[in-house]
Amino acid sequence: MITGYVADDGRLRAVGDALASLADVVWIDLLSPTDEEERALEARLGIDVPTREEMEEIEVSSRLYLEEGAVFMTATLPARTDTDDLLMGPVTFVLASDKLITVRYHEPRAFRTFPQRAEKVSLGCADGDDVLVALLEATVDRLADILEGVERDVDGISREIFRAEGKRDLNKVLQQIGRKGDLGSHIRDSLVSIQRVAGFFGHVEAQQKNDKELRSRIKTLTRDVQSLTDHSSFLSQKITFLLDATLGMISIEQSNVIKIFTIAAGVFLPPTLIASIYGMNFVHMPELRWMYGYPLACVLMLLSAILPWWWFKRRGWL
């Protein structure tokens, strides 16, 4: 699907047929484009739209490059972050003929909210460069919101782990930590990819000596991404600490269970020994025919159980 946007006094306005209005369009968004749509756009703009396989290449040279006067930049962005079914996918930004072309095969939220906001508020979207900076800013804002949500959830997990009383479901806590750790690592990867895009974009703008205000916005964007990257690293360390703490508490609970069984075995071992002795079938056992033999054996077994229990209690093991 191809969606086109034209500039309208700093705002963006969607047009019905992007290819028909190509002369006025400043942003062309390709969502899961067909081969026919790619060929039609390539013929009109004279560029080679990258395929999905090319977008998924991890080499920097395959993600950031110049070709035939066009600038190609690919970042990894998240989608469906509000659910457990997180989807990470590449998004390619192409600057050609003062137009921005975005190629994607999933729907990050920023690509839904940004056009709606740009239609109502003037964001200075006069050409493709301006649209790209504004779109990246919206994407970084969305990633910041996700990190804030992760931080709130991690704080809640921390309170759950270290609360003074009440029973904790540590298996559930482990699952929550795993999900938040996975989300945090993906967001950090996304921020690193955006940082590379912003750095490469700023380098191209500096070489072309374009608008100073635009270059200033790119530098501010790069600093914001760096600060978010540092914050995501802090969250990653905190999640690792909570994981270690949870595993430690699970080990303590398991040790307590094993300690109970060990103490129980220690308490019942002497009575079992006495019962085993008097359960032997030897003919000449003096206590077998003694009138008080049975009560004596019961008293011995009781005392042999009480004495170890008293000792464990005195040592503070119970």
Q: For the chain, which residues make up each domain, given as ranges?
A: 2-251, 253-315
Q: What is residue 292's predicted lDDT score, i.e. its pLDDT?
A: 72
Instruction: Give the span between the Cα atoms of 191 and 223, in whole angstroms.
Output: 11
Helices (H), 17-109: 35-45, 52-55, 60-63
Look at residues 54, 18, 49, 46 and name the one whose alpha carbon lies nearest to residue 34.
49
List average pLDDT for each run of 10 residues in the chain, which is 318 residues long.
Answer: 80 76 78 83 78 77 80 88 81 86 88 85 79 89 89 86 71 84 88 89 77 82 90 89 84 77 76 76 70 76 79 71
Q: What is residue 317's predicted lDDT score, i.e. its pLDDT?
A: 65
Q: What pTM, to 2 d.p., does this model score?
A: 0.76
Q: What secondary structure does DSSP assign to 213-270, as a single string?
A: HHHHHHHHHHHHHHHHHHHHHHHHHHHHHHHHHHHHHHHHHHHHHHHHHHHHHHHHHH
What's the CATH code, domain 253-315?
Answer: 1.20.58.340
For residue 267, give every residue at least 6 positions away whose Cβ sits within 8 Å of its Cβ, in sequence order, or none: 305, 308, 309, 312
Q: What is residue 318's predicted lDDT score, i.e. its pLDDT?
A: 64
For residue 104, give every residue at least 6 positions away whose Cβ sits within 8 Å of its Cβ, in sequence order, or none: 29, 30, 31, 32, 77, 89, 90, 91, 92, 111
Look at residues 139, 131, 122, 141 and name the one whose alpha carbon lies nearest to residue 28.
131
Q: What is residue 49's predicted lDDT score, i.e. its pLDDT?
A: 81
Cβ of 71: how many Cβ atoms within 10 Å? 21
Instruction: Give the span between the Cα atoms of 106 and 103, in whole angstroms.
Output: 10
State whether CATH 3.30.460.20 applies to domain 2-251: yes
